Amino acid sequence: MILGSTVCGDIPWRMFCIKSDYLFRFAQVNQLIFAGENLYQLITKMFVHIAILHFLLNMISLWFYGIRLEKSSSGLFVILVFLITGISTSITNLFLGTIISAGASGAIFGIVTTFTVLNWNKKNTKILFLAFIIFIHSPAILGSSINYLSHFTGLACGAILGISKMQSIDKTK
């Protein structure tokens, strides 16, 4: 993560933000995508975070839920869920017009929701899901911008992938 103090918008901890030249190169800049340039940003935006707190919240969530999903499925499945839900969030972000979007929150929502669907009847799964929802949105209290469309898209895609995985497991029984 390359730090600077040039781009953070309304984020209160802007002293720990990514430099704008990296942001415009690797985050999802819809204006460039609409112009037919930088289509790779639909993928790279998942690996760029605007601030340290943004990065840390995503990594804690990915660590906590990624490990659990991997134990109940496989590492390849976790990677596929991350990429499918992450790219899906990038595509839905195009409907927001000329915005700049960065981070893996949508993909992480996909992982968390897939895990939740696959483990719905296990102890504490529902409370962990609720705690995650509160935890990941906690920066909103500090006044940060949150892309709720990405979160909802990740949640919806994660639910679809979780249900699909459950159906494939049921067919093998």
Interval 33-52: pLDDT, tens: 999 989 999 999 999 887 77
Q: Which of 61, 105, 144, 150 is catalytic?
A: 105
Query: What's the pLDDT at 163?
Result: 92
Residues of the chain with pLDDT below 70 are 1-19, 136-145, 173
Query: What's the pLDDT at 19?
Result: 66
> Would you call 137 a catalytic residue per the annotation?
no
> Would you call 54 a catalytic residue per the annotation?
no
According to CATH, what is the number of the domain 3-172? Answer: 1.20.1540.10
User: Residue ranges per domain, the chain?
Assistant: 3-172
- Output the DSSP codes for 43-91: HHGGG--SBHHHHHHHHHHHHHHHHHHHHHS-HHHHHHHHHHHHHHHHH
DSSP-derived letter for residue 119 is T
Query: What's the pLDDT at 167?
Result: 82
How far is it, in rounded angstroms, from Cα 85 to Cα 137? Answer: 19
Query: What's the pLDDT at 3?
Result: 35
Q: Which of 49, 54, 61, 151 is catalytic?
A: 151
Q: Which residues contact 29 (CB under 8 A, 6 or more apart)?
A: 38, 41, 100
Query: What's the pLDDT at 139?
Result: 60
How far is it, in rounded angstroms, from Cα 76 to Cα 68? Answer: 13
